[in-house]
Amino acid sequence: MWIFGYGSLTWKVDFPYCQRVVGYIKGYSRRFWQASIDHRGVPGKPGRVVTLIPSDDPEEKVWGIAYEIPPQEEQNVLTRLNIREQRFEVRKNLTMYSADGQKLKNSVLVFLGTDKPELMLGDASVATIAEQIAKSYGPSGSNSEYLLNLAKFMKEEVPQARDDHLFELEAAVIDLLGKKNDE
């Protein structure tokens, strides 16, 4: 079994795995449209975390990491991820490609967010999303930490990749946090 991480699983792995492969899936866009009321925000003041949205471009790439789970650990890992990713109700097996474009032999299990109105915040301006991320905090820490760690992963592991949504938000949140520190 392989698990594909495209958000916090790129930098916060709390389960055993045999190997990790940096790569991408196709046909989706990564967006900070999912409400987080249990990790990076709280009820009434949700944070924003990433989910995958079907793209109009079947060749669009979302970069992340696939983890091969040891067979004897599959059930334990799924149990843990079902708790950690409980707001991500849709699970799909998708094709993944390594950084050099080779198709992974096995499909990867991908957790997708819900479309329930109370948890799908949806699109907004970069300024609006950045302000919400800069101000949100939950049991797992600040929402900005989540965003900045994801951007760091992308810059370090796949510097050739484009993710305009992520990097525009990163710049806007850094600007807001800098202004906050100046006050």
The per-residue b/e assignment along 75-85, b for 16 or more CB within 10 angstroms, e otherwise, is: eebbeebeebb
From first CA to last CA, the distance across the chain in angstroms is 49
Residue with tokens 């990163």: 170
| DSSP of 6-69 | SSGGGT---S--SEEEEEEEESEEEEEEEEESSSSSBTTB-EEEEEEEE-S-TT-EEEEEEEEP
Residue 120 carries which DSSP code? B
Of 103, 105, 27, the C-alpha closest to 68 is 105
Distance CA 55, CA 89 (A): 19
Give the angle 13-17-23 at the CA atoms, nearest 5°. Answer: 75
Of 147, 107, 105, the C-alpha closest to 129 is 147
Active site residues: 85
